[in-house]
């Protein structure tokens, strides 16, 4: 569990860290992680998810410009050398692991019938694969990463509440 002292070793910030830190939700350490953003890693999937938000927002809504400015400023602070971009093999492996994770929980409380749920699981799997291959721990509150830790024992995840 992510605590006030912080973890050792390099970190990759999941999308929910950005969303919660930028909206003032979650523990204070999330804001600290964003302050130190140039020293942390980010998955290309997270860049895509944050960029999706920019495209999804209603341009006529009075808060959209402010939100987009905040996202743009945050993305600009990410060191391009710290963006983990998957290879074709990592995409393949992520697809397999996303499918295995869905199979493990399908029929329980989740069905994954909606395309967005499958897309989110694939992005999470992709983040897990690139982080594991680079031996970088993931900071997240997403319980799906527990499934990926079961599939890949080398994956390190620091959860926050």
52's tokens? 């999706």
34's tokens? 């964003």
Cβ–Cβ < 8 Å for 147, 22? no
Listed by start position, the domains of the chain span 11-159
In tens, the pLDDT along 4-50 reads: 445 568 999 999 999 999 999 999 999 999 999 889 999 999 999 99
d(CA 74, CA 34): 8
In tens, the pLDDT along 83-96 reads: 999 999 999 999 99
| Helix 115-133 × helix 44-56 angle, to 10° | 150
Cβ–Cβ < 8 Å for 94, 122? yes
pLDDT at position 109? 59
Q: Report, at the CATH architecture level, how domain 11-159 is classified.
A: 3-Layer(aba) Sandwich (3.40)
Burial class (CB in 10 A: 0-12, 13-18, 19+), 18: buried
């Amino acid at each position: 569990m992510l605590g006030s002292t912080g973890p050792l070793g390099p970190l990759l910030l999941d999308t929910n860290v950005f969303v919660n830190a930028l909206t003032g939700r979650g523990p204070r350490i999330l804001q600290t992680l964003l302050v130190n953003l140039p020293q942390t890693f980010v998955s290309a999937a997270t860049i895509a998810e944050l960029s999706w938000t920019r495209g999804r927002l209603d341009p006529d809504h009075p808060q959209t410009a402010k939100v987009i400015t905040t996202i743009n400023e945050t993305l600009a602070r990410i060191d391009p050398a710290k963006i983990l971009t998957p290879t074709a093999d990592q995409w393949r492996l992520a697809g397999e692991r996303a499918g295995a994770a869905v199979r493990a929980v399908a029929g329980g409380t989740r069905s994954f019938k909606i395309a967005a749920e499958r897309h989110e699981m694939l992005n999470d799997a992709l983040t897990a694969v690139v982080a594991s291959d680079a031996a970088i721990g993931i900071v997240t509150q997403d319980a799906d990463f527990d499934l990926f830790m079961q599939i890949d024992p080398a994956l390190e995840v620091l959860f926050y509440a």
